[in-house]
């Protein structure tokens, strides 16, 4: 009897994309018809949470299935260790062709922005990427680097150019099982200009089409300035990426391999557009940590809706499991396959841990209903320290009543019992993931909720807590 052919696997990763930009999550701007089709015909993860709302830590978790503190990549600028099992390493050992295209951001700060040494590529064989793509390219000038570290300029709008490269990879390797990781920069801002450069005409098409409730509440009175000025370009970028996904799927169909290909789309983290701190992420709010996540193809077609919160570090073991390969020991992530078709996994915790770094050291727990957040003392150094031994409770949100986290309930007597329950759950997660038992100081008691972009209660006893830590 002939063994079934192993599936091809493609991951499409966007950068800084909020979950609520997609139609299946209620956005009416109409920028993601291809993602929505993928989610409807396959499996949609309703509450997908990044393990860390910072680029490199989130990406290390996607490649390893381990929390950033376990890989050592707890902030940007730290390299992925060569001795940690990776997604590409597992597929390569199983005879897959492996390819990486786009932004890597895991080579470490001791190297240049573009070329990545072979030993720091996470096991990928075929290579067309830059470590920090935002610094080697702009919207219409895409420069990546090949296996020899030589620069390659790709024509066209940046996401189009990378999708074109992905289609070429698929065409060249479709006669054997392959793993392709397509890592796009969009809809990340272009750093030097602090702008969201969409293709010509796309910004104008989507200006004024959508304002998320958190921006409307936290940046009122500035419809043409502040974060509002970015939304048209942000949505325009996502629309073009979505069109690229459609072209990629057309290529799979044309090659006769669409039904044999697992295709996943997710993001490293979201964006709160500077409404929660001095930049775009590095907070525990949904806008920072909740991302789109859908899969289709073998195992996932008709999988339905996964309702319970899961971490995107589950992506690695999920893809390995779907390919019929052996999942490495010691991962924090778990395969999503038991959750498909309304299933359950009794070994899964009912909450997702989020680690926060760089701006401050924080931890958050996300359940289906609640968000509980703690923050380290201000005398800790979030650039050099991955964790802390003492935290203060700073935030509690009821996501059922307040999905955009505008009313901070921490310290309210009315919520003391649920706070204690979440504190205990966080202790359990920290013991399991970090092997740590830190002290957590309860929040000062208050009588009314706090509504403010400032995440700390006004009566916080730790003076001088910094919201804009200056990174070297």
Q: What does the pLDDT read at residue 467?
A: 30
| Residues pairing with 303 in the sheet | none
Extents of the domains making up the chain: 8-342, 360-441
| Residues pairing with 45 in the sheet | 306
Rounded distance between C-alpha atoms, residue 402 and residue 299, angstroms:
34
Q: What does the pLDDT read at residue 1?
A: 40
213 phi and psi angles, rounded to 5 deg: -55, -30
- Strands, E assignment, 390-441: 390-398, 439-441
Residue 111: burial class (beta carbons within 10 Å; 0-12, 13-18, 19+): middle
Q: Which helix (H) or strand (E) holds 242?
A: helix 228-254
* Per-chain mean pLDDT for the chain: 91
Same fold flag, 8-342 and 360-441: no
Cis peptide leading into 187, omega within 30 of 0?
yes
- In 3D, which of 322, 273, 272, 270 has the Cα closest to residue 295? 322
Return the CATH superfamily for domain 8-342.
Answer: Alkaline Phosphatase, subunit A (3.40.720.10)
pLDDT digit string, tens, across residues 34-75: 999 999 999 999 999 999 999 999 999 999 999 999 999 999
Sign of the four-CA dihedral 322, 25, 160, 144: negative
pLDDT digit string, tens, across residues 258-306: 999 999 999 999 998 878 877 778 899 999 999 999 999 999 999 999 9
Which residues does 203 contact at the CB level (< 8 Å), separation at least 6? 196, 232, 233, 236
Q: Average pLDDT of 435-459?
A: 74
Q: Quickly tell me which residue has 């996470």 as its tokens.
A: 122
Please say if the pLDDT value at position 470 is more than 90: no
- Confidence label for 453 from pLDDT (cuts 50, 70 and 90): low
Q: What crossing angle do the helices spanning 158-173 and 228-254 adopt, rounded to 10°?
A: 20
Rounded distance between C-alpha atoms, residue 408 and residue 405, angstroms:
7
Neighbour tally for 146: CB within 10 Å: 13
In contact, 344 and 338? CB cutoff 8 Å: yes
Fold of 360-441: Arylsulfatase, C-terminal domain (3.30.1120)
278 phi and psi angles, rounded to 5 deg: -85, 0
Which residues does 225 contact at the CB level (< 8 Å), separation at least 6? none
Q: What does the pLDDT read at residue 330?
A: 94
pLDDT digit string, tens, across residues 140-150: 999 999 999 99
């Amino acid at each position: 009897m002939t063994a079934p052919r192993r599936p091809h696997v493609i991951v499409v990763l966007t950068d800084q994309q909020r979950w609520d930009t997609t139609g299946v999550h209620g956005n009416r701007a109409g920028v993601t018809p291809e993602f929505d089709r993928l989610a409807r015909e396959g499996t949609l993860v309703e509450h997908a949470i990044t393990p860390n709302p910072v680029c490199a830590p989130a990406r290390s978790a996607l490649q390893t299935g381990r929390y950033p503190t376990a890989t050592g990549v707890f902030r940007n600028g730290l390299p992925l260790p060569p001795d940690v099992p990776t997604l590409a390493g597992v597929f390569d050992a199983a005879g897959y062709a492996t390819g990486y295209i786009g932004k890597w951001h895991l080579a470490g700060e001791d190297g240049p922005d573009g070329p990545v040494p072979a030993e720091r590529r996470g096991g990928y064989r075929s290579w067309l990427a830059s470590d920090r793509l935002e610094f080697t390219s702009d919207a219409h000038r895409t420069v990546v680097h090949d296996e020899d570290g030589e620069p390659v300029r790709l024509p066209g709008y940046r996401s189009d150019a990378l999708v074109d490269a992905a289609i070429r990879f698929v065409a060249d390797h479709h006669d054997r099982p392959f793993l392709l990781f397509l890592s796009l920069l969009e809809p990340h801002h272009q750093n030097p200009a602090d702008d969201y450069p969409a293709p010509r005409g796309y910004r104008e098409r989507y200006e004024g089409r959508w304002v998320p409730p958190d921006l409307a509440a936290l940046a009122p009175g500035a419809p043409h300035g502040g974060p509002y000025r970015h939304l048209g370009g942000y949505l325009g970028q996502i629309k073009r990426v979505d069109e690229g996904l459609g072209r990629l799927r057309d290529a799979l169909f044309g090659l006769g391999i669409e039904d044999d290909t697992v295709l996943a789309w997710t993001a490293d983290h979201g964006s709160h557009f500077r409404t929660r701190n001095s930049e775009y992420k590095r907070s525990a709010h949904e806008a920072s940590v909740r991302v789109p996540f859908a899969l289709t193809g073998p195992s996932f077609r008709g999988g339905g809706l996964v309702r319970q919160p899961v971490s995107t570090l589950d992506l690695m073991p999920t893809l390995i499991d779907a390919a019929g390969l052996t999942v490495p020991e010691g991962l924090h992530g778990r395969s999503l396959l038991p959750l498909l078709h309304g299933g359950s996994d009794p070994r899964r915790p009912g909450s997702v841990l989020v680690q926060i770094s760089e701006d401050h050291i924080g931890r958050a727990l996300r359940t289906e209903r609640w968000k509980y957040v703690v923050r380290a003392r201000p005398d800790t150094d979030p650039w050099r320290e991955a964790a802390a031994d003492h935290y203060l409770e700073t935030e509690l949100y009821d996501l059922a009543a307040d999905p955009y986290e505008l009313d901070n309930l921490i310290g309210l007597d009315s919520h003391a019992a649920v706070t204690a329950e979440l504190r205990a759950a966080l202790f359990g997660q920290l013991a399991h993931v970090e092997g740590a038992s830190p002290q957590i100081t309860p929040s000062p008691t208050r009588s009314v909720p706090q509504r403010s972009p400032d995440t700390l209660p006004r009566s916080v006893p730790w003076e001088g807590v910094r919201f804009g830590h200056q990174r070297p």
